[in-house]
A = this chain, B = another copy of it.
Amino acid sequence: MFNTVPLVQIIRGSRLEAVYRGAMAIVNARGHLIASNGDTNLTTFLRSSAKPFQLLPLVESGGADHLGFSDRELAVMAASHNGEEFHVQAVVGILARLGLDESALQCGAHPPLHPPSARVLENAQQQPSALHNNCSGKHSGMLAQCVDRQLPIADYVSPQHPVQVAIKQTLAELASVSPDSIDVGVDGCSVPTFALPLSAAALAFARLADPSELSDPRRSALQRIASAMMAHPEMVAGTKRLDTEVMYIGKGRIVVKGGAEGYYGIGILSSPGLGVAIKMEDGDGGRGRNAVVIEVLRQLDALNGEGLASLAHYAAGPMKNHRGLIVGEVRPCFQLTH
């Protein structure tokens, strides 16, 4: 079982109604553990929180430059996007640059995460395609690595494919763990997903925010990926999504990437940079996870009063019922120790 601690309480009236448990590690870019809650060795899959690192080999190798990708295109390659029209068109454009189309994507199809976009398809009686899959940008980035390195594309999702081997090796280096120690599962979109201790994942996020102690070309590549995500936060998630809104409010000081099953990664561009890896025990990616993310940013002074106010709809606070009456409260119950 996981070794977790209570992170958020849901209170109704004066009584406890639900509790979200989890664990987190906060590590600086020098690899020092700054703060934690629960077991910092908790080892579980990063899921989509790994996307900035799954993109790294393409940028570090120069492939992104060879192929002429814009920052906006890099951002959607690091995305769990909403399947809004602008996301879909960006992925179509990336694939066209590679001489490919959506038939090359092996992510499978699901309706757009963005409800209005899902409804547009449904009302037109159109089936969602692989382009609408929230991972289609990541897959197009993996295909770009294939094209740039002249590798076969038919099996790019296989853990043995050179693109996946390079991703695992790169992530291991960034997290300062042995590649052999990284357990591999199959992600929702069929590519490998990687299990790391929270402290190791936090180090990778610290280096995404602050690669100053790394050498080129990795340093430049991480800077470019983080800058692309922060400059185009709408590409990384989309309308009404936590990742997008936090990076808008963060104004170049906060880079974030959520993952499935309650995973969340944060990089804070301080000196030295900070990395945060959070795992919600129950896999929550809504009310509990959101309140934890905002509370961590508050406690780390990464968000100020105005920023916190702008993100209040994701944060702790009063709960209203269907008539707008305040009936309870979302209340974080953890304290980072520095």
**A185 and B19 contacting across the interface, CB-CB below 8 Å:** no
A1 at the interface (CB under 8 A from B): yes
Query: In the complex, what residue of chain B is closest to A2 when comparing beta carbons?
Result: B19
Which chain B residues lie closer than 8 Å to A123 at the CB level?
123
* Contacting pair A323 B108 (CB below 8 A): yes
Is A13 in contact with B188, judged by CB distance below 8 angstroms?
no
Complex CA distance for A288 and B262, rounded to whole angstroms: 14
Q: How far is the CB of A100 from chain B (nearest CB, A)?
A: 18
Binds B, one of A65-73, A77-85, A229-237, A278-286: A278-286
Chain B contacts of A336 at CB under 8 A? none
User: Within 8 Å CB of A185, what residues of B?
Assistant: 12-13, 15, 17, 327-328
Q: Determine whether A187 belongs to the interface, using a CB cutoff of 8 Å to chain B.
A: yes
Name the segment of A88-96, A166-174, A189-197, A267-275 touching the other chain. A189-197
CB distance from A75 to the nearest CB of B (A): 22
Nearest residue (CB) in B for A12 is: B185
A15 contact set on B, CB distance < 8 A: 43-45, 183, 185, 195
Q: Which of B189, B283, B324, B328 contacts A17 (CB 8 A)?
A: B283
Interface residues on chain A, size class:
35 or more
Known: A1-B6, A19-B2. A323 touches B106 (CB 8 A): yes
Asked if A165 is at the interface of the complex by the 8 Å CB criterion, the answer is no
Distance, CA A109 to CA B321, complexed state (A): 10
CB distance from A243 to the nearest CB of B (A): 20
Contact A325 B281 (CB under 8 A): no
User: B190 touching A20 by the CB < 8 A rule?
Assistant: no
Chain A 318-336: CB-based contact to B (< 8 A → 1; otherwise 0) = 0001111101100000000
The contact string, 1 if C-beta is below 8 Å from chain B, for chain A 96-132, is: 0000000000111110000000010011000000000
Taking the complex as formed, is A21 at the interface, i.e. its CB lies under 8 A from any CB of chain B? yes
Q: B19–A133 contact, CB under 8 A?
A: no
24 A-B pairs within 8 Å (CB atoms) are namely: A1-B6, A2-B16, A2-B19, A13-B184, A13-B185, A13-B186, A14-B183, A15-B43, A15-B195, A16-B44, A18-B261, A18-B262, A19-B281, A21-B282, A108-B324, A109-B322, A133-B322, A186-B325, A186-B327, A187-B321, A187-B327, A188-B322, A189-B321, A282-B284
